């Protein structure tokens, strides 16, 4: 009986490299679009959370608490299996973008809120006193300062988002984990399949994570 990492299994994998490449590309696309959505939602809901208007604050809390306190898998299942019952059929790729986007948007909202709240109130007031609108003040004065302390946790969110796209494998998501899974469940060559898949995720996440570490150290030095 050949071991789980027998040479011919690796050869088979190399032969079928395009399967993994396709999944890898899908994972990158999914991550990029998901991250864009997450950033948009995160900035919007994060700013709602810094507002003095009670309704806005409430909207922020409902979104953040609801999403952060339910598992991503259930949210994906809801989008994939639940929505069709309401007559809404979404392509699985869209389910993926929405799923990780909305999920990580909730975490990013907290990062943005904390970042904006770390900027002294006087900054917004100085901007107002010079004739800036709320959005003008946010874009030119407050967010650039919030960015400094938000970058490391934001990068961590990006890393988690990339890893979490693998949850899509549970609904035949067409991304890296799904392809690795279906390829190896056909031929039972799980060993090489998961090792290579893991390395591919690592190749995306590690550079980001080390970037975050470097930023963090820089901030520590400068503050």
Partner 1 sequence: MIKVQGVNKFFGPLHVLKDINLNVDSGEKVVVIGPSGSGKSTLIRCMNLLETPSTGQIVVDGVDITAPKAPITKVRESVAMVFQQFNLYPHKTVLENLTLAPTLIKKISRDEASESGLAFLERVGLREKADAYPAQLSGGQQQRVAIARALNMRPTVMLFDEPTSALDPEMIQEVLDVMVDLAKEGITMVVVTHEMGFAKQVADQVIFMDGGTILEKGSPEHFFTNPEHDRTKLFLSRILR
For partner 1, which stretch binds (CB under 8 A), given 47-55, 60-68, 116-124, 213-221?
Answer: 116-124
Contact between 108 and 69 (Cβ < 8 Å)? no
Residues 12-71 that bind partner 1 (CB under 8 A): none
Say whether residue 140 binds partner 1 (CB under 8 A).
Answer: yes
Cα–Cα distance, 106 to 63 (Å, whole number):
7
Cβ 223 to partner 1, closest distance in Å? 11
Q: What is the distance between the alpha carbons of residues 109 and 121, in angstroms, rounded to a whole number?
A: 19
Whether residue 179 contacts residue 20, with contact meaning beta carbons closer than 8 Å, is answered with yes
Tell me: does residue 141 bind partner 1 (CB under 8 A): yes
Among 132, 190, 194, 211, binds partner 1 (CB under 8 A): 132
Q: What is the residue whose two structure tokens read 């973008």?
A: 97
Residue 146 CB, nearest approach to partner 1 (Å):
10
What's CA 73's distance to the chain center, in Å? 14
136 binds partner 1, rule: CB under 8 A = yes
User: 161 and 38 in contact (C-beta within 8 Å)?
Assistant: yes
- Name the site residues for partner 1 (rule: CB under 8 A): 120, 122-123, 125-133, 136, 140-141, 144-145, 148
């Amino acid at each position: 009986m050949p071991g789980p990492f027998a040479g011919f299994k690796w050869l088979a994998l190399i032969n079928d490299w395009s399967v993994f490449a396709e999944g890898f590309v899908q994972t990158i696309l999914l991550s990029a679009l998901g991250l864009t959505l997450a950033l948009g939602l995160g900035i919007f809901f994060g700013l709602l959370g810094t507002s003095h208007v009670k309704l806005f604050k409430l909207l922020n809390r409902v979104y953040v608490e609801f999403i952060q306190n339910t598992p991503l898998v259930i949210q994906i299942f809801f989008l994939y299996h639940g929505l069709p019952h309401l007559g809404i059929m979404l392509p699985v790729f869209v389910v993926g973008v929405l799923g990780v986007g909305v999920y990580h948007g909730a975490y990013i909202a907290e990062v943005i809120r904390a970042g904006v709240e770390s900027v002294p109130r006087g900054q917004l007031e100085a901007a107002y006193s010079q004739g800036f609108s709320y959005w003008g003040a946010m874009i030119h004065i407050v967010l650039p300062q919030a960015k400094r302390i938000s970058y490391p946790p934001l990068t961590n969110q990006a890393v988690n988002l990339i890893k979490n796209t693998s949850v899509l494998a549970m609904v035949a998501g067409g991304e890296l984990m799904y392809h690795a899974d279906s390829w190896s469940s056909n031929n039972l060559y799980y060993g090489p399949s998961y090792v290579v898949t893991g390395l591919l995720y690592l190749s995306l996440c590690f550079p980001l994570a080390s970037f975050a570490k470097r930023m963090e150290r820089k901030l520590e030095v400068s503050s």
